[in-house]
Structure 1
């Protein structure tokens, strides 16, 4: 993928969704700096384009019905954010077998069925993709998780 801003969007969205899944069902503050890294506003108090792109990603996730929040904390964070039912169910559901095979470095055939089932979920695929650090892998998993199969509407 040549568009770096799209790769950053997928990574920011993935990190935010994993943070919210890890806290679910508690409401938590989602800080842009925890997702995109530290940012120093300029002499006019304006954040960098990178910071604002991450903040925009969080707002977009809310607009698309993947998370809810009570308010924004300036342009620093979302206050009391939580996954929506749709996002929680999607992240908890099994990924397609082709995505599982492509992203599975574990030899999960030797594992008990319950653990094998956990390893086949979208959230597990997303965590593995983030751990790998591969922008291409993160993009593929995000697309497969939220953007390819729109039948869950």
Structure 2
């Protein structure tokens, strides 16, 4: 079992990337509370460790070239965030059927290459990494989301 902070990192990263993909190429303010949930700063104005971990994940995504932003809004949001070209391409890329078939997705994941029961446009949409991440987030099963994020962003490009 993975450490809880790594599971939260994968979940936060997946949610942020899917949010940005859903509005691409428009820039948006990416709020930590929309990803990690509500947070009440303590009497000194400091955020919870959970909030700060999510904020750190967003900053890390930028450092690794998956998103860009203009500025931070305190430690509460990224101002004018957008996916980078590499992240957009990765999320739009078809996921390998064999790899995704092994995931425990709540709904059918990537359609089989010879599945003619769906229109071609639907098959193409459901074969992308962003669809796999959406399904993994929806399923709420951390090991599935962890494996999906590892496969989507830590596998060599084109896989």
TM range (shorter): over 0.9
- The alignment status of 1:106 with 2:76, answered yes or no, reads no
Structure 1 segments of 4+ aligned residues over 4 angstroms from their partners: none
Aligned-partner Cα distance in 1 for 2:2–2:15? 21
Aligned-partner Cα distance in 2 for 1:99–1:72? 36
Structure 2 residue matching 1:26: 3-state secondary structure: coil
Structure number having the greater helix percentage: 1
CA distances 1:78-131 after superposition (whole Å, capped 9, x unpaired): 000000000000000001122332346338421112211211100000000000
- TM-score, normalised to structure 2, is 0.90
Matches within 5 A, 1:52-91: 52-91=52-91
RMSD: 1.4
Structure 2 residue matching 1:114: 3-state secondary structure: helix
How many residues in Structure 1 have an aligned counterpart in Structure 2?
A: 151
Q: 1:144 aligns with which of 135, 139, 151?
A: 151
5+ residue gaps in structure 2?
none
Aligned-partner Cα distance in 2 for 1:2–1:91? 24
